[in-house]
Amino acid sequence: MSTQEPITNLERFDLKGQREAILILAALTNGDVRMYRGKDLVDVLRVGERIAALACGPYSREVNTLCLVTKAGGLIVKMLPRRHELATATYGGGPPPEQDIPLDIPKKTKLYLDQTERERDMAPEMHRRFQQETVNLQVTTAKAYLELLQRGEIAGASMPQKEEETKEEEEKVLVDLRAVVKGLGPFFHLEVEVANLGDESLLQIPILLSYNPEKYKSPKPLIQIGALVPGIPLKCIFELECLDTSAVDQEIEIQVLPSQLEDVLRETDRLESDVNFSALVMSRVTMPQSSML
């Protein structure tokens, strides 16, 4: 228990009569007399002057009287009104007064009782159905997410090819591919991040863009990575120019090609973006509409 001002006097106040109780009176330097019942503040008497002394007891015909002597030499006599209530805390610290207000609870009807009995008897069945519907919802959500991944409608999602029992197919699941489109148009930057999830380094890895040549143009649709070390992702940026500003929801494929194509790429002077290879991993990105001319 703490006060905002220092305490100058303490006095015990024994209430007599029909309201028997024990109060503790604390006089503060700001002229307030705080009345406590236990730890609860029940009333505050504001005198306005610093109090030098105080005493409680009977005075004349009143049994509950408080006498105060101020520092200036004044004498103040306060008689407690007979109807004044000091049994409950009115300044916080105790229970709220709302707890004494009864709640307006409607009466239990026959329908309510029947429904309660039904829920009690069918509790196991209701719980089983709830668990079944929860599992069905999870399965439906997983199927919808897998369908989006397979159609490439999630930007940056990796799309491995069909599994085959070859060494080349084992490498497909070891490459992670993410892509982000930056820019307002008609010039865009396609930021591609490639990560090696395996244990061995991959050498001479080509990354190829596939797009509609009537809609987009790239000065360098292929970038070759010399070495892809496990655990260290690499970023490369492709420059794209939108040739048709009215193009909407155009998709661009990003393919990570196997390293066996190094000889083919070395013999090819210019690689068109519509050339198809068996990619290690592939991702589709939906391009935004160009907003500038």
Using alpha carbons, list the distances in angstroms from residue 134 to 87, 117, 127, 142: 54, 25, 11, 12
Single pTM value for the model:
0.38
- Whether residue 173 lies inside any domain: the answer is yes
Within a domain: 255: yes
pLDDT in tens, 37-94: 888 888 888 888 888 999 988 888 888 888 999 888 888 888 887 776 665 555 555 5
> 87 and 188 share a domain?
no
Instruction: Say if residues 286 and 249 touch (Cβ distance below 8 Å).
Output: yes
* Domain end marker among 95, 114, 134: 95
From 95, 116, 137, the end of a domain falls on 95
Which of the listed residues 60, 95, 130 is the one where a domain comes to its end? Answer: 95
pLDDT value, residue 292: 56
Q: For residue 135, tell me if it sits in a domain.
A: no
Higher pLDDT, 84 or 179: 179
Q: Tell me, what's the pLDDT at 89?
A: 52
Cα–Cα distance between 261 and 257 in angstroms, integer? Answer: 7
Is the pLDDT assigned to residue 165 strictly greater than 70? no
Q: How confident is the model at residue 134 (pLDDT cuts 50, 70, 90)?
A: very high
The answer to whether residue 160 is domain-embedded is no
Beta strands in 197-273, from DSSP E residues, in sequence order: 202-210, 216-217, 222-228, 234-242, 250-256
Number of domains in the chain: 2
The pLDDT of residue 138 is 92
Roughly what angle, to the nearest 10 degrees, separates helices 123-151 and 110-121? 70
Instruction: Evaluate if residue 196 carries a pLDDT over 50.
Output: yes
Asked if residue 172 is part of any domain, the answer here is yes
Number of H helices, E strands in the chain: 4, 15
- CATH code, domain with 233: 2.60.40.10
Query: What is the pLDDT of the chain when averaged over all its residues?
Result: 79
Task: State the residue range of the domain holding 195.
Answer: 167-287
pLDDT, tens only, 228-246: 888 888 888 888 888 887 7
Asked if the structure places residue 115 within a domain, the reply is no
**Pairwise CA distance, residues 289 & 293, whole Å:** 11
Residues 187 and 269 in one domain: yes
For residue 250, count other CB atoms closer than 10 A to its CB.
16
Structure confidence at residue 133 (pLDDT): 92
Residues 183, 268, single domain; the answer is yes
Q: Between these two residues, 202 and 54, which has the higher pLDDT value?
A: 54
221 is a domain residue: yes
pLDDT tens sequence across 243-289: 887 777 788 888 888 876 655 555 444 444 444 556 778 888 888 87
Is 146 a member of any domain? no
